[in-house]
Amino acid sequence: MEQKELEEFSEKKDNLMKFFKDFLAKESLFKNKEVLQIKYIPDSIIHRSKQIENLASILAPALRREKPSNLFCYGKTGSGKTLCTIHTLNKLQTIAKEKQISLKTAYLNCKLKKIADTEYRVVAQLAGAIGTEVPITGLPTGEVYNIFLKKLDEKKQIIIIVLDEIDQLVNKIGDGVLYTLTRINPELKNAQVTLVGISNDVRFIENVDPRVKSSLGEEEIIFPPYNALELREILQSRAKLAFREGVITEGVLEKCSAYAALEHGDARRAIELLRVAGEIAEREHSLRIEEKHIDIAEAKIERLRILEIIETQPKQSQLVMCAILLILENKEGRIETGEVFEKYTELCKKQGTNILTQRRVSDLISELDTLGLINAKVISKGRYGRTREIYLTISKDILDKVKETLKKHLY
DNA sequence: AGGTATTCACATGAAACTATTCTCTGAGTTAGG
DNA sequence: TAACTCAGAGAATAGTTTCATGTGAATACCTGT
The 3-state secondary structure of A157-225, one letter per residue: CEEEEEEECHHHHHHHHCCHHHHHHHCCHHHCCCCEEEEEEEECCHHHHHHCCHHHHHHHCCEEEEECC
Could you say which DSSP state residue A244 is in? -
pLDDT of A158 over the 90 cut = no
* pLDDT for residue A118: 65
- Looking across all nucleic acid strands, the nucleotide with the smallest C1' to CA distance from residue A355 is C16
Q: What is the pLDDT of residues A259-277, one digit of tens each?
A: 888 878 888 888 888 888 8
The pLDDT-based confidence of A116 (bands split at 50, 70, 90) is low
Q: Which residue has the higher pLDDT, A270 or A35?
A: A270
Q: Distances in Å between the alpha carbon of A268 and those of A260, A272, A333?
A: 8, 6, 34
Query: Once rounded to an integer, what is the mean pLDDT over residues A331-337?
Result: 83
Task: Tell which strand B nucleotides have any atom below 7 Å from a protein Cβ.
Answer: 6-14, 22-26
* pLDDT for residue A361: 94
Q: What is the pLDDT of residues A306-317, one digit of tens each?
A: 888 888 888 899
- Looking across all nucleic acid strands, the nucleotide with the smallest C1' to CA distance from residue A118 is B22
Percent residues over pLDDT 70 in chain A: 83
CA–chain centroid gap for A64, Å, is 35
Asked if A378 CB < 7 A from strand B, the reply is yes
Beta-bridge mates of residue A132 = none
Asked if A336 CB < 7 A from strand B, the reply is yes
Return all residues near A17 (Cβ < 8 A) that are at least 6 apart.
Answer: none
* pLDDT for residue A357: 93
Q: Which residue is nearest to nucleotide B7 (CA to C1')?
A: A383
Spatial separation of the C-alpha atoms in residues A272 and A274, rounded to whole Å: 5
Amino acid at A409: H
pLDDT of A23 over the 60 cut = yes
pLDDT of A62 over the 90 cut = no
* pLDDT for residue A12: 54
Beta-bridge mates of residue A105 = A160
- Looking across all nucleic acid strands, the nucleotide with the smallest C1' to CA distance from residue A120 is B23
Could you say which DSSP state residue A63 is in? G
Q: What is the pLDDT of residues A83-108, one digit of tens each?
A: 899 999 999 989 888 988 888 888 87
Average pLDDT, chain A: 81
- Ordered alpha helix ranges (H), A60-155: 81-98, 119-129, 141-152
The pLDDT-based confidence of A340 (bands split at 50, 70, 90) is very high
A6 CA vs B30 C1’ separation (Å): 47
